[in-house]
Amino acid sequence: SLELGGKSPVAVFEDADQENAINGITAGIFGASGQSCIAGSRLYIQNSIYDKFLDKLSNRANKIKIGVPMNPETEMGPISNFKQLEIIEKNIKLTVEQGGKRHSFSNKGYYFPPTIIECENHNLPTAENELFGPVLSVMKFNTEDEVIKKMNDNQYGLSSGIYTSDL
Full DSSP string of 76-140: B---S-HHHHHHHHHHHHHHHHTT-EEPP---BTTB---EEEE-SSTTSHHHHS---SSEEEEEE
Count of CB atoms within 10 A of residue 162's CB?
18
pLDDT at 111 over 90: no
Handedness of CA 93, 154, 115, 74 (dihedral sign): negative
Q: How confident is the model at residue 53 (pLDDT cuts 50, 70, 90)?
A: very high
Are 44 and 127 in contact, with CB atoms under 8 Å apart?
no
> What average pLDDT does the chain have?
90
pTM of the full structure: 0.91
pLDDT, residue 109, reads 63
Instruction: Supply the pLDDT for residue 5.
Output: 65
Q: Give tens-digit pLDDT for 136-164.
A: 999 999 999 999 999 999 887 788 999 99
The rounded distance, in Å, linking the Cα atoms of 162 and 96 is 27
Tens digits of per-residue pLDDT, 77-107?
999 888 888 899 899 999 999 988 876 555 5
Is-catalytic flag, 37? yes
pLDDT value, residue 149: 96
| 119 in active site | no
Which entry of 14, 37, 75, 146 is annotated as an active-site residue?
Answer: 37
